Structure 1
Amino acid sequence: MNSLPRIRSVTPYLYRIPLETPVVTSFGTMRARSALFIAIDDTEGHRGWGEVWCNFPDSGALHRYRLLHEVFVPLMVNQPTAHPVRLMAEVKMKTRILRLQTAEYGPLDQCSAGLDCALWDLYARQHEQPLYQVLGGTGSRMPVYASGINPSGVQETIALAQQAGHTAFKVKVGFAEDVDRHTLQAAREVVGDHFLAADANQAWSIDTALHMGDMLDAFELQWLEEPIAADSADSDWQRLCQALRTPLAAGENMNRLSDFERATCTWGLQYMQPDLAKWGGISECMQVVEMCKKQGITYCPHYLGGGIGLMASAHLLAASNQSGWLEMDVNPNPLRSEVLGEHLQVHDGHVTLSSAPGLGFDPDLQALQGYAQFPTQ
């Protein structure tokens, strides 16, 4: 029996781009975008790509870059490229005490998630299959929706997205009530009867969410995303789901399998939105997909980062064999658009995955040279 190829190198790549037009949310304003990509090379010449969540605050990207170098690279180099689930279980076991000692659960989870994605890409390339097929997917085409749409210039942003092929849209709410009403009115005027969703980014208390819900119901939204904090009491989520006609969505800020299981089984959500670059990678998000299937909940991956994580999210959505939508940020971001090139182009509200192995593309990092950061090791 031939021995498994080993991990020859794990290389993080850090990028940062100041924004001419900031991205405004209810929890803060993004004035720069960062991306932290990971390449894992094996001893047989295969390379897998992953991405670590680091979008807010963008200064946190440097910390995650250093964690990769100081903690994870030494653990992984020269290890056999076993099945990604098994290899990442070993890595998490070896970092368990560090997580407890530092209470750095978020950054360590996000580094692990990016590494998990890179290992799955590597595994699929080793087996010469597209990632979504390795994961059990049967179709390569999926619907998408345009997101990251701020209250300022909402109609202009939607019009540009429509020109780019989008037919479904999600706007930001969670500001003053009159601002939210104006945003939704303006968006509905342009969108017509097409898909329109709203994201409150955890802005409201339960009482405010119930009050706002009456107004939001009038706009016939596809869903209302994170109206209250992700860690709110189960009873608050249950009360909201029962009181509002608008379907509710959540998941991007959950960080334990037990939280996802409780939410899918008891809250009454209609949409679940884990972010594979923020928590769990592909390995654990696939478990969330299975929870959704059992409860009749639609899986719609959350994503608002660079091109590699977006592509991984698309493959996981295809692997779910569900009818969910892929989130696509429509704010200008070369860390997404330049990396992807001609891949994931939107046509009539859909994208189609390549049949090439792994993620189906090799990111064009040369196009990002002007944004590269080179921290001192």
Structure 2
Amino acid sequence: MVQNQPGGAPPDAVADLRIRSVQAFPISFAMPQDRIVRHGIGAAVKRDTVLVKVQTECGVVGWGEAHHGRGPTSIADLINNTLAHFLACRSAAAPVDAWGAVYARHLASHGQGAGTMIALSGIDMALWDARGRYWNTPCHVLMGGERRPVRAYAGGVSLGFQPAETLVEEVAALVAANWRAVKLRFGDGVGRDVPRLQAVRRAFPDLTIMVDANCAYGLADLRRAADALRDCGAEWLEEPFPAHDHRSYAEAKPLMGGVPLAAGENHYGRFEFHRLLEDGSVGIFQPDLSKAGGPSEVLRIAHMAGAWKIPVCPHIATGGLNHAATVHLLSAIDNGGWFEGDASPGNIFRDELCRIEPDADGMVFAPMGAGWGVEVDEALIRAHPVIAGPGFV
């Protein structure tokens, strides 16, 4: 590791951090039958992610995480056989320069397709990590922030469809583990969704409750559920509709009785978030650092949203690299909202990379150390070869 100080880049920093290679590794693990969670997009039968390794000329290595995009081998192939070529002669000293190269040579002419934005996200995250390691500095400092408490809620692939009484038991265990907020799932039919929400609210009058419909609702469903969401004090309703259904979001906002709509995990890049600003229907932005274009682009999105006083509460991906990077970014923006803590049962890619849990006050902190503060043992990659087939059925 090069022990340079941040703030004044030495003349050789660009050369030192010249990108030597970019490699992507798709990995998976199967969920045991007794730990499968079902929500609005199906039952999660396996977990996938794509780890991205950037090696630089001086020997510093940076790691990032790209979302699996429901096709982890395709995302990895896009990185290894296309995007990596655009990064020749670029440097991790300026991740925005590398980002711009991919934009100019691919995105501008072929559109901001989800696959390319997801792949670029993992690369960009790895470049930030390398930069932080070179200067022996945490990424939140490089982003202009400080290590500070961040509010957290229990989310991830958890709290799925189940009888109300067992859902209350699952929430109780999370509350006992210092979670002061949780995200419940809608999309199982209003007649089953609402009673679950009401049961949790009765059991925990002071708990902050978010609700995620996973794009499984229509306007008719929302009209039937809106009063309960308001009466139960839902913090937000997340993605009732697909990302492209702008008209439904616009029609839904007046129905919500003050409960804001949240979206963004399936929006790619600042240009799609600009449309959300223009529409004015979504009150909580949720870009994913492993999907929306990486930390560089999510910083742009956050600053843009800040001008409209819109909080940014990022969606999280599968693994601990994404989780760590998310807390770092939330520590560096002035409109940072909630961190979505991963409460998924048995998430190996969280537990073996970086498990972030709340303190007694329900807060989380960015990991200590250079870059993202996460050490990647490549034995993890060898131990979890990619599994073919869909992750949700």
The answer to whether TM tops 0.5 is yes
Match of 2:262 in 1: 249
Residue 27 of structure 2: which of 9, 12, 15 is its match?
15
Match of 2:180 in 1: 167
C-alpha separation in 2, matches of 1:210 and 1:317: 33
The within-5 A match list for 1:315-354 is: 315-332=328-345, 333-340=347-354, 344-348=356-360, 349-354=362-367
C-alpha separation in 1, matches of 2:50 and 2:101: 23
Further displaced range: 71-80 or 152-161: 71-80
**1:149 counterpart SS class:** coil
CA contact (8 A) 1:251 1:260 kept: yes
Q: Percent identity?
A: 27
1:295 corresponds to which letter in structure 2? W
CA contact (8 A) 1:114 1:277 kept: yes
Alpha carbons of 1:345 and 1:329: their partners in 2 closer, same or farther (altered >3 Å)?
Answer: closer
C-alpha separation in 2, matches of 1:374 and 1:203: 27
Residue 143 of structure 2: which of 135, 139, 143 is its match?
135
The within-5 A match list for 1:124-203 is: 124-147=132-155, 148-152=158-162, 153-203=166-216
The within-5 A match list for 1:28-47 is: 28-47=42-61
C-alpha separation in 1, matches of 2:386 and 2:218: 39
Residue 294 of structure 2: which of 272, 278, 281 is its match?
281
Match of 1:298 in 2: 311
Further displaced range: 216-225 or 266-275: 266-275
Residue 87 of structure 2: which of 62, 65, 76 is its match?
76
Match of 1:371 in 2: 384
1:83: how far off?
0.7
Alpha carbons of 1:22 and 1:95: their partners in 2 closer, same or farther (altered >3 Å)?
Answer: same
Alpha carbons of 1:309 and 1:208: their partners in 2 closer, same or farther (altered >3 Å)?
Answer: same
TM-score, normalised with respect to structure 2: 0.86
> How many correspondences in the alignment?
366
Match of 1:49 in 2: 63
Alpha carbons of 1:108 and 1:258: their partners in 2 closer, same or farther (altered >3 Å)?
Answer: closer
1:97: how far off?
7.6
C-alpha separation in 2, matches of 1:374 and 1:202: 26
Is 1:89 the counterpart of 2:100? The answer is: yes
Match of 2:239 in 1: 226
Alpha carbons of 1:86 and 1:138: their partners in 2 closer, same or farther (altered >3 Å)?
Answer: same
**2:31 counterpart SS class:** strand
Q: Which runs of 5+ in 1 are unaligned?
A: none
1:363: how far off?
2.7
CA contact (8 A) 1:51 1:308 kept: yes
CA contact (8 A) 1:158 1:190 kept: no
Offset from partner CA, 1:317-342 (integer Å, 9 cap, x none): 111133511002211201111111xx
**2:15 counterpart SS class:** coil
2:58 corresponds to which letter in structure 1? E
**Higher strand residue share:** 1
C-alpha separation in 2, matches of 1:212 and 1:188: 15
1:175 corresponds to which letter in structure 2? D
What is the root-mean-square deviation of aligned Cα atoms in Å?
Answer: 2.3
CA contact (8 A) 1:139 1:321 kept: no
Residue 75 of structure 2: which of 41, 46, 64 is its match?
64
Alpha carbons of 1:320 and 1:279: their partners in 2 closer, same or farther (altered >3 Å)?
Answer: same
CA contact (8 A) 2:107 2:116 kept: no
Further displaced range: 30-39 or 91-100: 91-100
Offset from partner CA, 1:217-261 (integer Å, 9 cap, x none): 221111111122221234x32332222122221111112423312
Match of 2:250 in 1: 238
The ranges of structure 1 where at least 4 consecutive aligned residues each deviate by more than 6 angstroms after the TM superposition are none
